[in-house]
Structure 1
C-alpha cells in the first residue's frame, strides 16, 4: 500500500515541478520567477525524500538537505540581486 502512496506523491510533486517550470518560463515578473525557482527547489527536495523512502537508503536524505541549503542561499542571493543590483556589498 505504501508503494502506491509513494508513486502517487511522486506524481503529484512531479506535476507541481512542471507547473513551476511553466511559471518560470512564462512568469509575468521577476518576483514570480524567483518564487517559482524556490518552489521548484522545495519540490525537488520532496521528490528526493520520497525516492529515499522508496529505496530504503539514507543517502537521498543527506542529498536533499544539501540541495535545500543551496536552494535557500541561492534564493536569498537572487533576491538581493533584484533589490540592490549586487550580491556582495
Structure 2
C-alpha cells in the first residue's frame, strides 16, 4: 500500500514538472516565467523529500529546507528588481 502511494506521488510530481516546463516555455510575460521557475523549485523540493523518504536518508530534508529558503530569497530579489530595480 505504501509503495503504491509513493509511486502515485512520483507520477504526480513528474506530471507537475511537465506542466511547469510548459508554462516556462509558453509564458507570455517575464512574470509568468518567474512564477513557473518558482513552481519548479517547489516541485524539486517535493521530489527531494520523496527521495529522502524512499532512500531512508533523512539528511536530504535539510537540503530541501535550505533549497526552499534560497528559492524564496531569489524570488524576492527578482520581484524587487522588476518593481524598481536594485
TM-based fold match above 0.5: yes
Matches within 5 A, 1:33-52: 33-52=33-52
Find the aligned partners of 1:42 and 1:73 in 2 and give their Cα distance.
13
Q: Across the two proteins, how many residue pairs are aligned to each other?
A: 86
The alignment's TM-score, normalised by the length of structure 1, stands at: 0.89
Partner residue in 2 for 1:13 = 13
Gaps of 5+ in 1: none
Gaps of 5+ in 2: none
Partner residue in 2 for 1:63 = 63
Deviations 1:16-65 (A, max 9, x none): 01211111111011111111111111111111111111111112101101
Find the aligned partners of 2:21 and 2:30 in 1 and give their Cα distance.
14
Partner residue in 2 for 1:78 = 78
Q: 2:46 is paired with a residue of what secondary structure?
A: helix
Could you list the runs of 4 or more consecutive aligned residues of structure 1 that deviate by over 6 angstroms after TM superposition?
A: none
